[in-house]
Amino acid sequence: MNYLITIIGPTAIGKTALSIALAQHFGCDIISCDSRQFFKEMKIGTAVPSDEELAAAQHHFIQNKSIFESYSVGDFEQEALAKLDELFQKNNIQIMVGGSGLYVEAVLKGFDDFPDIDNSVRDEINAKFDSLGIEYLQQQLQELDSEYYQKLQSENPQTLQNPQRMKRFVEVCIGSRKPYSSFIGKRKNVINFTPIIIGLEADREIMYNRINQRVDIMLNEGLLAEAQALYPNKHLNALQTVGYRELFDYFDGKTTLDFAIEQIKMNTRRFAKRQITWFKRTENVSWFDYLTNRKEIITIIESQIQKL
């Protein structure tokens, strides 16, 4: 039987360090499931593991794409499952780690099969969003898929404020001429592994302090210069993310640098809250304080494998 040890939790909680310790113990590889770390041009602002960390265990899906490529959660699902099939032939235990809940769920449960959308539709939606803001996306979704809009409004209202997700909903509606909700629940994966899900958590104040410290480290490592180099491409989907958007506003003269830095910290904290909300809905998770001794976590994982 194959086992996929999946490590989840909010940003800056210590998932990378734990995944490397587990990979070394079990002698296996690591599938990265962080949608911001796929892109090779975005290293500092996405907290890509250090060269030493990458050398400590074999990683997959880190900086393997370009911001100029179109890459969806469905693409990742197919590539990750294919890679796991290959890895399980060498070792029946493998590790997946990351804070992108939708991407984790795509591998563990299967992602709904959405149609390919023409780039011209995506470009037009991006242009209108740039000029009209999030209200344009909300209005479009309400008109094109009122059922899904109302579902989000009642069950997950913060998603209505998420430009990336909202753009995706609207582009599917316009590009397919069908409601986004009509594609949900149509397909699930047949997986050849048993998931063992490990969650890391910390008190909110500790988590927020770790986030603030990480942002300071990123700035010391050259985040400002990295964002400046990416600034000419700020319209690309991959760059509509925390840590870059705020600095682009600074480069545009809309804010001061100090304000932009505080916004990065605040928006990263908000992102962590959304991650926690998502992952707390995940079933069959063994939750651990982020300081839990790794030997204890390994012992519990091994006992779970023996029971399965």
80 labeled part of a ligand binding site: no
Kindly state the average pLDDT of the residues 133-156: 92
CA angle (113 as vertex; 110, 119 as ends), nearest 5: 130
What is the structure's pLDDT at 111? 66
pLDDT one-digit tens code per residue, 21-79: 999 999 999 999 999 999 999 999 999 999 999 999 999 999 999 999 988 888 899 99
Q: Which residue intervals of the chain bear CATH 1.10.20?
A: 119-183
**How many CB atoms within 10 Å of residue 53?**
16
Q: Facing residues of 198 across strands?
A: 7, 286
| Arch. (CATH architecture) of 119-183 | Orthogonal Bundle (1.10)
Q: Which helix (H) or strand (E) holds 145?
A: none
Kindly state the average pLDDT of the residues 219-223: 98
- Taking alpha carbons only, the member of 247, 204, 294 closest to residue 10 is 204
- Taking alpha carbons only, the member of 36, 151, 162, 104 closest to residue 282 is 104
194 labeled part of a ligand binding site: no
CATH 3.40.50.300 fits 3-111+187-307, yes or no: yes
Kindly state the average pLDDT of the residues 174-193: 82
Q: Per-residue DSSP letters for 126-138?
A: HHHHHHH-HHHHH
10 labeled part of a ligand binding site: yes
Q: Is residue 178 very low, low, confident or very high in pLDDT (cuts 50, 70, 90)? A: very high
Q: Which residue intervals of the chain bear CATH 3.40.50.300?
A: 3-111+187-307
13 labeled part of a ligand binding site: yes
Cα–Cα distance, 68 to 9 (Å, whole number)? 28
- Indicate if the pLDDT at residue 156 is higher than 80: no
Q: Which position has the higher pLDDT, 159 or 270?
A: 270
- Indicate if the pLDDT at residue 283 is higher than 70: yes
pTM: 0.80
**How many CB atoms within 10 Å of residue 273?**
15
16 labeled part of a ligand binding site: yes
Q: Facing residues of 7 across strands?
A: 97, 198
45 labeled part of a ligand binding site: no
